[in-house]
Structure 1
Amino acid sequence: MADLPDSDNGDKASYAAPALEKGLDILELLAEVGEPLSTRTIAERLQRSKSEIFRMVFVLQQRGYLVREAGTDRLALSRRLFDLGIRSPSGRQLTSVVLPLMERFSEESGQAAHLVVLSRAQTVVLATTSGHLDATVTVRPGYGRPALEANSGRLILAFQPEARRRSLMRDDPAEQARLDRPEIKEALALIVTQGHQIAPSRDILAVTDIACPVIGPAGQAQAAILVPCLQRHGVTTDEKAILTALKACCHEAGLRLAYS
C-alpha cells in the first residue's frame, strides 16, 4: 500500500473497486453458504440487481472460478481457488514434503491416506494416496467438513496452543464457541495424551479413522495424515501396525519440514 497517496489527515487514501468487490462478494457468499445458488438468489442475498450480478457471474465462469450445476441454473465454486491455495508457497512446501512419504506409506501398507489441513474452520484434503488394496476409501482433494465434526480436524486442533486454536476457528463463531464445551476440551486433551486419533469415521459408515499429526518447526500440527480403514467381512485390519507406520511417516514429515 506504499504507493497510495496520503489523504488530508495523513492516512493512506482508499480506492473503491466496485467490480472487484462484487466478484469477491459472490465468491465469499458461495463459500459461506456451501451450496449452489442461482444468479437471482445471489443478487437477492447481496442486494444487487440481477443484471450486474449476471455480468460478474459470466466473467467468473469464464475464468473458471464458478461452475454451473448440471441440469440447473445454479452456480457453485469450482476447485480453482483451492488449486491456487495449494500452489501458494506454504501449500506447495507441505505437499512436496509430505506426499512422497505418504506414497511410500501407502505402498508398504496398502492403505489409502489423506493429507488434511484446516482452512476457514473446515478440514481440507490437500492430497491423497490410494494404496494397493482391492478396497479402500479415497476422497477428492478439496473435500472438507467442519473441523470439530472430523477426526482429522479435532486432531489438528488438539495440537495447537489455545490462542491458535481459536484463530483457526474464527471464521465460524458458532463452531469456535464449541471449543469451550467440557466434552470438546476433554476430547482434545485425550488426543494430545494419546498422540494420535483412532475412532469411527464421523462421515462414512464401516470406516475407522487412524490419524496422526504432522508437527511443524513451531511444535504445532501443520496438518494431519488420516488413514480410513474400511471394515470388511472376514478381513482383519492390523490397526496397531498401521498406527506404528503412520507415526513414523508423520515424524519424518515433521523433521523434513523443519529442515526444508
Structure 2
Amino acid sequence: MEQLHVEPSSRPGPYPAPALEKGLEIIELLAAAQKPLSTRAIAESLGRSKGEIFRMLFVLVERGYLNRDPATEELTLSNRLFELGMRTPRARQLVEVAAPAMEKLSAKTAQSAHLVVLNEGETVVIANAAGTGDISFTLRLGYRRPAVEATSGRVILAFQDDDMRQRSLNAGPSHGREEDAGLLRAMLDEIATRGFLLAESHDMPGVTDISAPILDRQGRAVASIVIPYLNRRGARTRHEEVLAELLATCRMISSELG
C-alpha cells in the first residue's frame, strides 16, 4: 500500500501546542490522501501510535470534521472546513448577491440554477434555485466532482491564469490529470474566448449543461453558475435564450460583487 506522510514542522515555535498540531496533521493527511484511511494507516503515516491519535480522531469525528464509515471504520474529511470557509465575509457576500439573482433566473428560464465554486480541485455546489417548470434537475448542496470533469469547473478554470489552473488540477483527484495537457489548455482557452460553455452533460442523457462565470475585477472567475437544461420530447429547446439570460445574470452578479 502506498504510504502517505505529513512532515511535521521543524520549528516548535515559542508556544508549542502538541494536541492542536496532532489534529492538524490528521486533517492535512486526510486532505492529501483523498481516500478513506483506517486509524492504523493514519498512525503509521504520521509516525505515531494508534493510542496517540485515538482521542484526537474521536474528537474530530464528534465535532464533525471527520466522517467515519460504520462498516469499515475508515475515516474521511467532512465538508465542515469548507462550510466554515463559506462563512467568511467574501463567501457570504457571493451567496447573498447570487441567490436572489439565481431565483429570478430560474423563474425566467423554468430551469434550475446552481452556484459553484472550486475547492481542492473539485467543484462544490454552494447554492441552488429550483426551476419553476413542472420538472427540473437539481443538484444537492455540497455536491462535488473533479473540476476538469464538470462543465461548471471547466468554466471556472478557463478564467484563471496558468499557475492557478495547474494548482487546481494538481489538487484534484489523480484521474483528472491524465487528460492531455495541451488539449485541456486549448479547451479552456476556447471557453475563455467564448465566455461560456454549452455542452451535453457528462452523466445525464437528455441534459445540456449551460454555464458561465462570475468574474472579479481582474477577470478571474470566483464562481460559475450552471443550468442543467432538461431537453424534453416534443418541446422546443431554448438553449440560446437560456444562455442569454444566464450571461446577463452573471454579469450583474459580477458587477454587484465589484
Q: Using structure 1 for the length normalisation, give the TM-score.
A: 0.84
Structure 1, unaligned runs of 5 or more = 1-10
Shift of 1:73: 2.1
**Structure 2: unaligned runs, 5 residues or longer:** 1-10
Distance 1:240 1:64, change over 3 A: same
- Aligned partner of 2:197 in structure 1 is 197
Q: Which residue of 2 aligns with 1:4?
A: none
Q: Which residue type is aligned with residue 257 of structure 1?
A: L
The whole-number CA distance in structure 2 between the counterparts of 1:38 and 1:13 is 30
Matched, 1:141 2:130: no
Give CA-to-partner distance per residue, 1:34-89, whole Å, 9 cap, x none. 34333233223333211222111111122221233244423332232121011012
Instruction: Give the structure 2 partner of residue 171 of structure 1.
Output: 171
> Following the alignment from structure 1 to structure 2, what is the Cα–Cα distance between the partners of residues 183 and 116?
24
Change (3 A) 1:129 1:84: same
Percent identity reads 47
- 2:216–2:257 contact (8 Å) kept in structure 1: yes
Contact 1:150 1:203 in 2 (8 A): no
Q: Deviations over 1:199-237 (max 9, x none)?
A: 122343432110001111222111110011233444443
The residue type equivalent to 2:199 in the other structure is A
CA 1:54/1:206 → structure 2, altered by over 3 Å: closer, same or farther?
Answer: farther
| Alignment of structure 1 residues 4-153 onto 2, 5 Å | 13-153=13-153
Q: Secondary structure at the match of 1:104?
A: helix
Q: 1:238 to 1:54 in 2, by over 3 A?
A: same
Count of matched residue pairs: 248
Partner SS, residue 139 of structure 2: coil
Once residues 182 and 126 of structure 1 are traced to their aligned partners in structure 2, the CA distance between those partners, rounded to angstroms, is: 31
Look up the match of 1:237.
Answer: 237
Instruction: Tell me the CA shift for residue 257 of structure 1.
Output: 0.7
Computed over aligned residues only, the root mean square deviation of the Cα atoms, in angstroms, reads 2.6
Deviates more, 1:176-185 or 1:235-244: 176-185
Q: CA deviation at 1:158?
A: 1.1
- Structure 2 letter corresponding to 1:216: D
Deviation of residue 168 (structure 1)?
3.9
Output one character per residue of 1:5-62: Cα deviation in whole Å (capped at 9) or x when no partner: xxxxxx9945443222221222223333334333233223333211222111111122
Matches within 5 A, 1:191-230: 191-230=191-230
Separation in 1 of the partners of 2:57 and 2:21?
13
Q: TM-score, normalised by structure 2?
A: 0.84
The answer (yes or no) to whether the contact 1:115–1:224 under 8 Å persists in 2 is yes
**Does the CA contact (< 8 Å) of 1:166 and 1:176 recur in 2?**
no
